[in-house]
Structure 1
Amino acid sequence: MKRILLAALGALSLSACAQAPSGAAAQAPAAASAPSMSAPKPKPGTADARAIDAVRQLNPRVEVERIGAAPLPGFREAIVAGQVVYVSDDGRYLFLPGSGGALFDVAAKKNLSEDSMAAMRQQLLKAIPVSERIVFAPAKPKYTVAVFTDVECGYCRKLHSEIAEYNRQGIAIEYLAFPRMGIGSEDYKKMVAVWCAPDRRKALTDAKNDRTPPSRSCKTSVNQQYDIGQRAGLTGTPMILTEGGVQLGGYLPPAKLREALDQLAAEQAQTAGTAGKAPGA
């Protein structure tokens, strides 16, 4: 889960179409960086010192710009990478507020909120039959991921352009519909046409290459998939979920996704092995 902790505290990555580069903005030179700011070094053993240490345990590269009393009893308030975080006075828990809020166990390096969300997402995904997913898979996949996708999204199109390489990496992609412009939009109508097409795989590939499939109307689960995406905490497309409901961010190149899946599998195996040991073993 360490990659999730780092991402949450300022490690940048390609994620969702809401952040996709376009036009002149993508070509513009980077602006001059702002001067570095960091909070004064507190006395060792204080709640402020423990709070700063907790942040740096999760991501040693970020600077704590300010530290002080929090409106929440038992916590300190810090400004980190331009966002407010709250750290328990003992340095054990770190809370990121906001719409993507998360509670971290610093000592265990675990995102407690993500663990709960993963369990819920796993149950939500079970409501969508495999027959309603558009599947691109190798003969014997090592991993299977669900990807909430949109036909207009730039990163969704980039991911799909590399679908053969994902398969070569042993990864099966099961697409789910998430028309990001909302139910009833032109985007939604295109996705319904894809799901109503006799060959959904071809229709999806065509739609992602500006070859809109003929308009069709049929009984589909596009509305259900859109609703489940919202309930799963989707904030942008694509959204990659493991079979266990763990979110692996937005777009990841094929080799990076395989690396993330291997790392997650190793972590889960280690956790299972530790849990299975007898006390004192």
Structure 2
Amino acid sequence: MKFSLRSGAVKVLLTALALNLTAAAQANEEAVKKAVESFVGGAAVEVVAKTPYGGLYEVVLKSGEIVYTDEKASFIIDGRVIDTRTRKDVTQERMAKLSAIDFATLPLNQAIKQVKGNGKRVIATFEDPNCGYCKRLGKELAQMDDVTIYTFLYPILSADSTTKSNNIWCAKDKAKVWTDWIVNAKAPAVASCDTTAVEKNVELGHKLKIGGTPTIFLADGTRIGGFVPVAELEKAITASAVK
């Protein structure tokens, strides 16, 4: 006995099968989420997704970290997945994608603007005036040309960081005073004005899960956490432009 299906019926069956598989996958991911949160003792999971690697599930925590587990959450792996075929660091790529932002949404009016050369290339930084690595970055950025730099004052280290940030923000020439301090260690003069922008920067930084300074954002939204030498930053900007 032969059995045949019209193309329309085949499509309906395939669609139903796909929906069932999707529902099952979602159910598994939700079960993994609940199991992990039960283990850590709180609502700590942002999202769960199955990976193509040995039945592992990727668990993105609300802290921004990525861990891996199986469908029963019988173990948790806190480490990196390397694809041996492509030699790519899968975890690093995912972290970069998850931590990227929409650059266009940054409130640039809350940042110090510096234009070097033609200013065609654009980056944004979140920096604490008392951050040692920010001072190192400042010396590197001083070597760059044809770039516009938006510096968001992000005082998270101490009360003195807030005081310095407010004085810099209230200066007549913000960019000069910032550079004088961060590059040349010339302390900003006491100044007063509306420093709501600095307060909003701290709120924004927390929203973007910026836990350390400096943090750099490229025009395509790519996040670079920590200090990088100018040569490495130049390469990253070029790579982001190609994307």
Question: How high is the TM-score relative to the length of structure 1?
Answer: 0.54
- Using a 3 Å threshold, how does the CA distance of structure 1 residues 89 and 156 change in structure 2: closer, same or farther? closer
Between the aligned partners of 1:219 and 1:242, the Cα distance in structure 2 is 28
* Counterpart among 122, 136, 141 of residue 103 in structure 2: 122
1:150-180 CA-to-partner distances (Å, cap 9, x unmatched) read 111111001112233122xx33221111002
Between the aligned partners of 1:264 and 1:236, the Cα distance in structure 2 is 22
Instruction: Extract structure 1 runs of 4+ deviating beyond 4 A.
Output: 86-89, 106-114
Between the aligned partners of 2:178 and 2:51, the Cα distance in structure 1 is 51
Query: Where does residue 189 of structure 1 map in the other structure?
Result: 163
CA contact (8 A) 2:220 2:240 kept: no
CA contact (8 A) 1:150 1:179 kept: yes
Q: Does 1:134 align with 2:97?
A: no
Task: Give the CA deviation at 1:139.
Answer: 2.4
- Using a 3 Å threshold, how does the CA distance of structure 1 residues 164 and 90 change in structure 2: closer, same or farther? closer
* Counterpart among 231, 235, 238 of residue 259 in structure 1: 235
- 1:263 corresponds to which letter in structure 2? A
Between the aligned partners of 1:155 and 1:96, the Cα distance in structure 2 is 31
* Counterpart among 250, 255, 258 of residue 226 in structure 2: 250
- 1:217 corresponds to which letter in structure 2? S
Query: Where does residue 58 of structure 2 map in the other structure?
Result: 95
Q: Does 1:166 align with 2:144?
A: yes
Between the aligned partners of 1:139 and 1:89, the Cα distance in structure 2 is 45
Larger Rg: 2
Between the aligned partners of 2:104 and 2:93, the Cα distance in structure 1 is 19
- Using a 3 Å threshold, how does the CA distance of structure 1 residues 248 and 205 change in structure 2: closer, same or farther? same
1:213-253 CA-to-partner distances (Å, cap 9, x unmatched) read 22222113111111111111111100000123220222111
Between the aligned partners of 1:144 and 1:254, the Cα distance in structure 2 is 14
Question: How high is the TM-score relative to the length of structure 2?
Answer: 0.61
Between the aligned partners of 1:117 and 1:234, the Cα distance in structure 2 is 10
SS of the residue aligned with 1:148? strand
Query: Where does residue 202 of structure 1 map in the other structure?
Result: 176
- How many percent identity over aligned positions? 26
* Counterpart among 128, 145, 149 of residue 127 in structure 2: 149
Between the aligned partners of 1:149 and 1:156, the Cα distance in structure 2 is 6
Query: Where does residue 213 of structure 1 map in the other structure?
Result: 188
- Give the number of the structure whose residues are more often helix, by fraction: 2
1:24-53 CA-to-partner distances (Å, cap 9, x unmatched) read xxxxxxxxxxxxxxxxxxxxxxxxxxxxxx
CA contact (8 A) 1:124 1:232 kept: no
Task: Give the CA deviation at 1:94.
Answer: 6.0
CA contact (8 A) 1:156 1:237 kept: yes
1:103-144 CA-to-partner distances (Å, cap 9, x unmatched) read 89x79958456545434x53541x332xx4222222223421
Query: Where does residue 153 of structure 2 map in the other structure?
Result: 177
- 2:103 corresponds to which letter in structure 1? Q
Q: Which has the higher contact order (CA 8 A, sep 6+)?
A: 1
SS of the residue aligned with 2:126? strand
Between the aligned partners of 2:121 and 2:57, the Cα distance in structure 1 is 32
Q: CA RMSD in A?
A: 3.3
Structure 1 unaligned regions, length at least 5 = 1-70, 74-85, 269-281
The number of aligned residues is 177
